[in-house]
Amino acid sequence: MRRLSLVCAAAVACLALVSCKRKHDAEPATGAPLKSAIEMNDPASAGQLAAGFYGIEGGSWRWTARSFSIVLKTPDGAAQNGAKLHFKFTLPDAVFSKVGAIQLTASIEGMALGSERYAKAGDYEYRRDVSPTLLTKPSIRLDFACDKALEPSGGDVRELALISVSASLEPQSTAAH
């Protein structure tokens, strides 16, 4: 009987894991349609935050962990002309004063978009041109990684890296090519 209970528990756990997986080119868990531009203060955008984000704070932003991922809708025409990635964030003094400069890297399906080093606290925008060859699906998953972050301490169990404000993929004009 005990063995049967363990087998049932394992089966339920496996089913839960499988049912929780969400294809990144599907609609967000909220049922809202995917957007190519999201604001971190919009609760409807939460379904597009695939990993490494915490709840809305101050009514306008979210902390990220060291590694975080966002799913964005591929803009119309991007498969032909490419797009421009914009990720707006703050490197807060509370993080910078403890870990120093931070290097932020982004990739799409393992293809690096490049790194940027931020050597002082402040507001920033990570911008990159994205090749049309990476934009052939209805949506893309952007994976970001910081080389450093604040480790959990005191009563806060979160790993904290950046304060995220917004993310977008904007279509490139045909004149840019």
Give the pLDDT confidence of 110-147 residue by residue, as tens digits.
999 999 999 999 999 999 999 999 999 999 999 999 99
**φ, ψ for residue 97 (rounded to 5)?**
-65, -20
Checking if the pLDDT of 168 tops 80, the result is yes
User: What pLDDT is attached to residue 174?
Assistant: 63
The reported pTM is 0.81
Residue range 25-176, CATH number: 2.60.120.260
Across the range 7-35, mean pLDDT stands at 46
- ∠129-41-150 over CA atoms, to 5°? 75
Average pLDDT, the chain: 85
Higher per-residue pLDDT: 170 or 9? 170
User: What pLDDT is attached to residue 27?
Assistant: 42
Predicted confidence band of residue 80 (pLDDT cuts 50, 70, 90) = very high
Contact call for residues 95 and 102 (beta carbons, < 8 A): yes
Contact call for residues 133 and 37 (beta carbons, < 8 A): no
Q: Residue 146 corresponds to which tokens in the numbers above? A: 């910081």
User: What pLDDT is attached to residue 173?
Assistant: 76
Checking if the pLDDT of 107 tops 70, the result is yes
Across the range 30-52, mean pLDDT stands at 92
Residues in the chain: 177
**φ, ψ for residue 172 (rounded to 5)?**
-80, 145
CA distances from 46 to 1, 73, 93, 130 (A): 42, 14, 26, 23
- Annotated domain spans of the chain: 25-176
Contact call for residues 143 and 66 (beta carbons, < 8 A): no
User: What pLDDT is attached to residue 134?
Assistant: 97
